[in-house]
């Protein structure tokens, strides 16, 4: 009940709207419907006693009216948020036996935002479709309501104004209905951690304003429709933790604004790391881990200098780590290459600015030399590579993860595996490695070595 106490104490600070004498009242159907809603969400609170007046003059946090600009204009309830989130947003709390008749929301013809956080988490409420919402709704948000059990399709009535659909951690099930392509104002569709299944509809490609598409953590399957490539404003595409298969469509090169791509932990097939990634220079984060794409890491990094985080773990990758990754990925702060079958040396220049690099459980070889300065900023994981050894000429302590490496013997392969940033660490063999690349322009080399 601590939550409730905080809630009540904040109620006392609720200020009354100054126009109280001039403003016409909220119409009684909105007033009465809100009492009904509050009571069924939390019957332990005496809502009518605490809020005897017009809700547009004094209301619980989370109830928002549009304050009229002219006298005689009637106010309307435009936002309703329920469920205690934090002390900063003490919305009306829900009780463990919260229920709700969703038809009550049609009493709010000006409602723009409806938000439920942690409201339905004990008593299962199974809703028979369709749920009724006013056509004015722009934002529908359900977060962490695991006992809210409903087919996703039952939401898709009347939502022509919808801009943001955010349903995270509930029990929505069934397919993503193809009608979703009719809600052309959608800018965000986040349906993560539900129980959705089936294939995703090609009609998603019609949502030209979409910036975020997050369907992670469901049981979605099948191939990705080529139409997704039409989402030219998309910034974030997260389809991780599903069972999508087939080939990652090359058409996704059409995602001209994409910054965040997460396709990890699906069942995309052995067609290699998709080459089209090299044609999406806006990318900042790319995660493909946990799909057996197999093959060698391609040379696609030249235009991807903006990539900050790259996850290529558990993918059945073979061959060397391309030297070009160290050359071009200058903004990288996380690189996961663990649990593959990569061999050869680690290229010079990777994660010069610190960060985390996981190379565990491959077949990499060569000397690891790490300056003290970089060592402090770099979280390096190298276990499970029998060919790697620690070069102790550089004065680096052999504690920590590097303690897992044996010290290099004079006879060990001279390939440099230098985590540098300090030009004093540059060794002749690393330079020859670079110069050996015929295509390296002198300017790049200079910038690269910082000389």
Ligand X SMILES: *[C@@H]1O[C@H](CO)[C@@H](O)[C@H](O)[C@H]1NC(C)=O
Residues making contact with ligand X (CB under 6 A): 43-44, 95, 97, 99, 106, 109, 132-136, 157-158, 171, 173, 195, 205, 226-227, 229-230, 305-306, 331, 341, 343, 363, 365, 387, 392-393, 407-408, 410
Of the pair 213, 408, the CB lying nearest ligand X is at 408
Contact 250, 280 (CB under 8 A): no
Radius of gyration of the chain (CA): 28
3-state secondary structure of 148: strand
Q: How far is the CB of 359 from ligand X (least distance, A)?
A: 14
Q: How far is the CB of 182 from ligand X (least distance, A)?
A: 14
Q: How far is the CB of 59 from ligand X (least distance, A)?
A: 21
Q: How far apart are CA 277 and CA 260, in angstroms?
A: 12
Of the pair 57, 419, the CB lying nearest ligand X is at 419
Of the pair 21, 410, the CB lying nearest ligand X is at 410
Helix (H) or strand (E) holding 34: helix 28-41
Of the pair 48, 393, the CB lying nearest ligand X is at 393
Q: How far apart are CA 323 and CA 328, in angstroms?
A: 9
Of the pair 132, 178, the CB lying nearest ligand X is at 132
Helix (H) or strand (E) holding 324: helix 323-328
Q: How far apart are CA 214 and CA 236, in angstroms?
A: 7
Q: How far is the CB of 427 from ligand X (least distance, A)?
A: 14
Of the pair 23, 230, the CB lying nearest ligand X is at 230
CA distances 212 to 90, 215, 247, Å, are: 27, 10, 22
Q: How far is the CB of 16 from ligand X (least distance, A)?
A: 29
Q: How far apart are CA 375 and CA 370, in angstroms?
A: 6
- Strand ranges, E, within 252-300: 260-262, 285-287, 295-296
Q: How far is the CB of 169 from ligand X (least distance, A)?
A: 10
CA distances 63 to 14, 49, 66, 151, 262, Å, are: 12, 17, 10, 27, 36
Of the pair 122, 267, the CB lying nearest ligand X is at 122
Q: How far is the CB of 221 from ligand X (least distance, A)?
A: 12
Q: Which residues contact 13 (CB under 8 A, 6 or more apart)?
A: none
């Amino acid at each position: 009940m601590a939550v409730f106490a905080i809630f009540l104490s904040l109620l006392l600070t609720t200020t009354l709207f100054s126009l109280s004498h001039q403003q016409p009242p909220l119409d009684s159907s909105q007033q009465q419907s809100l009492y009904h809603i509050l009571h069924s969400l939390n019957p332990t609170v005496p809502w009518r006693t605490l809020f005897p007046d017009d809700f547009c003059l004094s209301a619980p946090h989370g109830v928002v009216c549009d304050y009229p600009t002219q006298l005689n204009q009637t106010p309307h309830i435009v936002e309703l948020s329920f469920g205690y989130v934090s002390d900063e947003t003490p919305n009306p709390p829900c009780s463990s036996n919260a229920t709700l008749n969703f038809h009550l929301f049609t009493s709010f013809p000006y409602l723009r935002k409806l938000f439920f956080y942690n409201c339905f988490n004990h008593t299962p409420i199974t809703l028979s479709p369709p749920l009724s919402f006013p056509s004015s709704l722009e934002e529908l948000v359900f977060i962490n309501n695991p006992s809210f059990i409903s087919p996703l399709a039952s939401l898709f009535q009347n939502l022509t104004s919808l801009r943001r659909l955010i349903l995270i951690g509930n029990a929505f099930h069934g397919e993503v209905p193809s009608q979703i392509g009719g809600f052309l104002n959608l800018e965000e569709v986040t349906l993560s951690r539900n129980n959705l299944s089936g294939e995703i509809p090609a009609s998603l490609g019609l949502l030209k304003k979409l910036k975020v598409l997050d369907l992670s953590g469901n049981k979605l399957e099948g191939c990705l429709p080529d139409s997704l490539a039409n989402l030219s404003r998309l910034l974030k595409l997260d389809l991780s933790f599903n069972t999508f298969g087939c080939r990652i469509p090359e058409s996704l090169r059409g995602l001209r604004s994409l910054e965040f791509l997460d396709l990890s932990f699906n069942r995309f097939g052995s067609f290699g790391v998709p080459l089209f990634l090299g044609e999406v220079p806006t990318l900042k984060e790319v995660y493909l881990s946990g799909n057996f794409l197999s093959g060698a890491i391609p040379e696609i990094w030249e235009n991807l200098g903006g990539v900050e985080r790259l996850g290529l773990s558990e993918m059945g990758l073979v061959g060397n780590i391309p030297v070009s990754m160290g050359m071009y990925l200058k903004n990288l702060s996380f690189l996961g290459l663990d649990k593959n079958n990569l061999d050869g040396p680690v290229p010079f220049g990777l994660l010069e600015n610190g960060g985390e690099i996981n190379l565990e459980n491959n077949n990499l070889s060569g000397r690891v030399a790490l300056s003290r300065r970089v060592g402090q900023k770099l979280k390096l994981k190298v276990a499970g590579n029998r060919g790697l050894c620690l070069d102790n000429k550089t004065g680096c302590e052999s504690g920590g993860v590097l303690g897992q490496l044996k010290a290099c013997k004079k006879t060990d392969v001279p390939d440099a595996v230098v985590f540098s940033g300090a030009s004093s660490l540059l060794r002749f063999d690393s330079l020859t490695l670079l110069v050996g690349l015929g295509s390296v322009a002198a300017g790049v080399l200079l910038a690269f070595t910082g000389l």
